[in-house]
Amino acid sequence: MRWHAFPLAPLAVAFVLGAIVPDGMPAFAVWVAWAICLALAAVLLGLGHERAATVTLVAAVAGLGMLRGAAPALPPHHLAAHPLPARARLEGRLAAEPIRWAPDRTRILLDADRLIEADEAWPVAGLIQLTLHGEPPPLTDGQRVAGDFRLSRPRSFRNPGGFDYAAHLARQDIFVVGSARADRVTALSADPPRWNVAAKRWADHTIQGALPPVSAALLDGLLFGERVGLPPEIDDAFRRAGVYHILAVSGFNVALLAASVFALLALLRIPRRAIAIVAIPVVAGFALVVGAEASVLRAAVMAILLLAAIAVEREPNLLNSLALAAIAILAARPGDLAEPGFQLSFGATLGIVLLARRLAAALAARGAPRWLADALAVSAGAQLVVTPIMLHHFNQLSLIGLVANLVVVPLAGVATLVGMLAVLASAVSDAVGRALFDGLWPVLLALRAAVFLAARVPAAMLHLPAPHWTAVIAFYGGIAALLAARTRWKIGGIALIAAAAAIEVWPIARPADGRLRVTFLDVGQGDAIVLELPDGQTALVDAGLGGPARFDVGERVVAPFLWNRGVRRLALAVVTHDDADHAGGLGAILRLFAVGEVWRSDAPPAERVRIIGGIGLMVLNPPVPPMTGSRRGPAADRNNNSLVLRLDHGRVSVLLTGDIEAEAERHLVAARAPLRARVLKVAHHGARASTGAGFLGAVQPAVAVISVGARNPFGHPAPRTLERLQTAGAAIYRTDEDGAVIMESDGRDLRVTRWADRSTRQIPLASR
């Protein structure tokens, strides 16, 4: 590929590289360097030094990328400068259409401009993401609203390899989040919905009225990328089948729309150039209706450029169009570069552009029918490039997607095309629209059946660790080498891809090191403790919040941590008791992992002393028969019957106490249970009814870990509990402040790491 053939490709690469350079250089210095490079490029070009001019021009574009990628300076009156957390009344305009993401949860994005607090009002600025609980009033994008909100800074679960939610919001210029009861939000203006919002609402209403709920939700996904209404089992099936991309509006939808316009107008014998001119506003209007997702913008920009090339009778260039789309999107929204939607959309398209033709030729040369060779090549080209991206963001590797796409994509194409026609026809004739929807319904059923069959194939999808950066470089370097014409480059490419695969599977295949590793995960107000045992096995004690209609910590936090550690099977899963903040995430864990044994508080193991994975494991609670009749009621009984586990590995002992309260602590002390331990998981998140002085005297911990959520409504940990721990001489660690707390021991020493600041402390054991 030569510079003259693809002039925008190196510029796009330069812009991206500039955007990912960490902040540090003053903006003024970058502007000066940019101006010098631009002037030098002009001089060199005038002197005929084309290559040197090209290099300086690329450097100038990289400087622009640095300027756009730098974190913006917030104005002094930005709401993020206000003392937070706080309760305040805000006024402003909705910056996006409200999203109903659960039956009683609606998310709105408020562009705040006025803060009212203690009967005083002053101007503010900032985008605020707000969750409304309950049924909100009718709201629309651009409408002016006011409400009483609880405001705070976004917070991420701080665990190794975890998703940084706060950084994700910051890339969208959101630095404050909040919540409110829906009935505390009032519309201050009666603005009608914008035309694109009204069109999308009308289309959604039409679809909902014409199809059963599940089929309607599926068609919403195909046409508009809306996946909120999809039942979880269908959403999961699309993921497992490796065809989730068809539920994201992209070039597939735009190509179908443009092709339909061409076919319809060609029947009317309209010239090709005129058709292209007509198709451009149709594509732009579709993008405005669907929304400003990166995949939509990429597809729309590329389609408009290709249509413009047809209109002026020029040969379209896909790589140039892709490069210009990347520059345009990142110039407007540089934060998109780190988002999976941007990476997957551009990665898949780049794979098709660069690899599909070569793969198709290779398959055809081996006797494959041309249609099959083309279909497999497009799917394989896209999947090859996005594989590291999928692993990085989702720990997913689809093994069935290449084949499933051969059936699912044509069905999705028919469903999307007929769905578009049915919606448009409904605007003219209810009868014609109804007939098209009736014909569409069997296609949607067939699509769902194909997806479910593909998802049920054993090992349809593997969950693997997020790849190390060396594996990513080796993989893409290997693909680049395989594209080269020289044989020795191809051999080197195969070697690089093999090296990437070896690096990827190392966390799974690495031998046991004989150490005990206990990770108290940051899961908010709940417990989730991962035990990596000396012989290489893994156990899990509790799995945080989860279940329907809530954020599932088991699926979204615990499972990715386990996958990134190379865990594919749990030797043991323990649920200390049935409270949602301990047991809620277990369902996802049992679905996603093979589990050897499950221990529950209502069915403790018959053998209360075991050797598992090279450590001693004792069950100290609940008693037989279980405790009842607490003066604090049934909830306290459930807490007091939590499973209490003692782990022993050489001189290191760990006591995991669930949510036991004072009654259970007194019972354990009176029963002379072996409580003395180096490490104590503080019971009930540090509640004042737990961790009494007598119990602490029996345990004598050197380290105390409190699993607790920031700004929790219970006031955990209680000041009295913290005082008692300090008096006992324990070093206190808290997941709300320290993130994940990681303890490692070979049986002779103990190291404790606070993940939030990566600090590690050696805990002396000889004197205890």
Mean pLDDT of 612-640: 87
Q: What is the pLDDT of residues 401-421, one digit of tens each?
A: 989 999 999 999 999 999 999
Q: Where are the domains of the chain?
A: 8-69, 79-192, 469-509, 516-761
Highest mean pLDDT among 312-316, 378-382, 734-738: 734-738
Mean pLDDT of 698-722: 94
Is pLDDT at 509 greater than 60 in this prediction? yes
Mean pLDDT of 689-716: 93
Q: What is the pLDDT of residues 116-138, one digit of tens each?
A: 877 788 899 999 999 999 988 88
CA distances, 231 to each of 99, 216, 234 (Å): 16, 11, 6
Mean pLDDT of 663-685: 95
CA distances, 57 to each of 50, 66, 322, 487 (Å): 10, 14, 20, 34
Q: What is the pLDDT of residue 318?
A: 86
Longest Cα pair distance anywhere in the chain, in angstroms?
94
**pLDDT confidence tier of residue 4, bands split at 50, 70 and 90:** low
Is pLDDT at 574 greater than 90 in this prediction? yes
Burial of 364 (0-12, 13-18, 19+ CB in 10 A): middle
| 384 closest CA partner among 412, 342, 356 | 356
Q: Provide the phi-psi class of 231: left if phi over 0, else alpha when psi is between -120 and 50, else beta.
A: beta
| 651 closest CA partner among 674, 628, 679, 625 | 679
**pLDDT confidence tier of residue 767, bands split at 50, 70 and 90:** very low
d(CA 360, CA 366): 10
Mean pLDDT of 204-230: 89
Is pLDDT at 304 greater than 80 in this prediction? yes
Q: What is the pLDDT of residue 572?
A: 96
DSSP 3-state assignment of 102? Answer: strand
**Cβ(147)–Cβ(179) under 8 Å?**
no
Is pLDDT at 616 greater than 80 in this prediction? yes
What percentage of the chain has pLDDT greater than the value 70?
98
Is pLDDT at 529 greater than 70 in this prediction? yes
**pLDDT confidence tier of residue 1, bands split at 50, 70 and 90:** very low
Mean pLDDT of the chain: 90
Q: Which residues pair with 600 in a beta bridge?
A: 575, 603
Q: What is the pLDDT of residue 34?
A: 80
Burial of 86 (0-12, 13-18, 19+ CB in 10 A): middle
Mean pLDDT of 79-104: 88
Topology of domain 79-192, per CATH? OB fold (Dihydrolipoamide Acetyltransferase, E2P) (2.40.50)
Instruction: For tokens 């996946």, name the residue.
Output: 227
Q: What is the pLDDT of residues 151-177, one digit of tens each?
A: 999 999 999 999 999 999 999 999 999
DSSP 3-state assignment of 127? Answer: strand
**pLDDT confidence tier of residue 2, bands split at 50, 70 and 90:** low
Q: What is the pLDDT of residue 49?
A: 82
Exposed e or buried b for every residue in 443-457, given b needs 16+ CB within 10 A? bbeebbebbebbbee
Helix runs in 427-542, H state only = 430-455, 469-483, 487-509
d(CA 681, CA 616): 17
Q: What is the pLDDT of residue 24?
A: 66
Q: Write down how long the chain is.
A: 768
Q: What is the pLDDT of residues 15-28, one digit of tens each?
A: 998 888 876 667 77
Report residue 478 as tokens.
Answer: 């290997």
Mean pLDDT of 219-246: 88
What percentage of the chain has pLDDT greater than the value 90?
60
Mean pLDDT of 649-653: 93
Is pLDDT at 547 greater than 80 in this prediction? no
Is pLDDT at 492 greater than 80 in this prediction? yes
Q: What is the pLDDT of residue 73?
A: 83
Is pLDDT at 549 greater than 70 in this prediction? no
**Cβ(206)–Cβ(420) under 8 Å?**
no
51, amino acid identity: R
**pLDDT confidence tier of residue 768, bands split at 50, 70 and 90:** very low
Is pLDDT at 327 greater than 50 in this prediction? yes
DSSP 3-state assignment of 762? Answer: strand
Is pLDDT at 41 greater than 90 in this prediction? no
Mean pLDDT of 515-524: 96
716, amino acid identity: H
Backbone Cα Rg of the chain: 29
- The structure's pTM equals 0.92
CATH class of 516-761: alpha beta
Q: Provide the phi-psi class of 484: left if phi over 0, else alpha when psi is between -120 and 50, else beta.
A: beta
Is pLDDT at 511 greater than 70 in this prediction? yes
Q: What is the pLDDT of residue 78?
A: 92
**Cβ(182)–Cβ(106) under 8 Å?**
yes
**pLDDT confidence tier of residue 607, bands split at 50, 70 and 90:** confident
User: Which residues are within 8 A (CB) of 282 and not within 5 positions of it... i.e. 6 or more apart?
Assistant: 257, 258, 261
Mean pLDDT of 587-613: 91
Q: What is the pLDDT of residues 169-203, one digit of tens each?
A: 999 999 999 999 999 999 998 888 888 889 999 99
Q: What is the pLDDT of residue 101?
A: 78
Least-confidence region, from 135-149, 205-219, 227-241: 227-241
Mean pLDDT of 563-586: 95
Q: What is the pLDDT of residues 679-699, one digit of tens each?
A: 999 999 999 989 999 999 999
Mean pLDDT of 245-272: 84
